Amino acid sequence: MTDKPQFVGKKVTIGELGKTQSGGTPSSKHPEFFNGSIPWIGTTALNGKFLGKNDAVKLITEEAVAKSATKIVPEKSIMVGIRVGVGKVAINAVPMCTSQDIVSIVGIDEASWNKEYISLALQYKAPLLAAQAQGATIAGITSKTLKAIEIPAIPINEQNRVVDILRKLENQVGFVRKQLCGLDALVKSRFVEMFGDLKSDTN
């Protein structure tokens, strides 16, 4: 019997996990909307992990929230890029606002779902989402398309195992990449020691 989690059986759509919430961009014509304390992000900030206040593209005011299309996304919601960075995902560690290029999944039952598991499952589905993007100027998907995406509905303990396994693999990959970068630098330095800096050779 394998010790690996088995992705078989029932599936659930993203739309069944919680409510979806769209974002908006406060107008730059209103300086009173900016230099506040509320983090606001676009798809460039979606990093596949957790986002904090330091990841904000801008800090906006409560007036900006009240008088524009942007809304505060409750902490620990799942944010998904639907335009520009279709399929990019992150989880907000603090309440924040987003642009209209992001749809957030809010109100997820934490007793039944590990949000990192959902985030990882969506990252796996990113190519599928990108393939469904449409638009002449800026390609994107609709929230309806996002809500129709299915992920395996496995028990919470299995979700936790999946997250643990994949995060460990991610750390190992990062370590190996760091080692390779160090090895590459070592090879280059040895080359310079043996043959000199070819860039400075003017002959």
| Tens digit of each residue's pLDDT (9 = 90 or more) over 43-93 | 999 999 999 999 999 999 999 999 999 999 999 999 999 998 999 999 999
Q: Hey, what amino acid is at 112?
A: S
Taking the C-alpha atoms of residue 83 and residue 36, their distance in angstroms, rounded to an integer, is 26
Q: What residues does each domain of the chain span?
A: 11-153, 163-198
Closest C-alpha to 27, from 60, 71, 57: 60
Q: Read off the amino acid at residue 188.
A: K
| 11-153: CATH architecture | Alpha-Beta Complex (3.90)
pLDDT tens readout for residues 93-120: 999 999 999 999 999 999 999 999 999 9
Instruction: Tell me the C-alpha distance between 129 and 152, whole Å.
Output: 17
